[in-house]
């Protein structure tokens, strides 16, 4: 009976530990989408322009090309 109660106590302590142990979370990922329109100094749209965004933290580089109306979208 003593062995059974030791095993039960050890099991309960392990379950209690696991219940309160920190669980890694990947829910705090920083993401964003950048969108805009490229225009020249006169305000005319610039089709076919290359737009580049670089993350300062990860050095990840994303590029996009503007459409016929000068619009671009950089999804992250």
List the beta strands (DSSP E) in 1-76. Answer: 33-37, 50-54, 61-65, 71-75
pTM: predicted TM-score of the whole model, two decimal places: 0.58
The total of structural domains in the chain comes to 1
Q: Note whether residue 5 is domain-resident.
A: no
Domain annotation covers residue 35? yes
pLDDT given at position 29: 66
Beta bridge partners of 52: 63
Q: What is the pLDDT of residues 5-42, one digit of tens each?
A: 778 888 877 777 777 766 665 556 667 889 999 999 99
Full residue range of the structural domain in which residue 42 is found: 31-76
DSSP assignment, residue 45?
B
Q: What was the pLDDT predicted at 48?
A: 96
20, part of any domain: no
């Amino acid at each position: 009976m003593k062995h059974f109660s030791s095993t039960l106590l050890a099991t309960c302590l392990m379950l209690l530990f696991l219940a309160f142990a920190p669980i890694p979370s990947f829910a705090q990922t920083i993401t964003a989408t950048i969108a805009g329109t490229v225009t020249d100094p006169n305000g005319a749209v610039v089709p076919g322009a290359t737009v580049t965004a670089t993350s300062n933290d990860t050095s990840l580089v994303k590029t996009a090309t503007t459409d016929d109306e000068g619009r671009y979208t950089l999804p992250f």
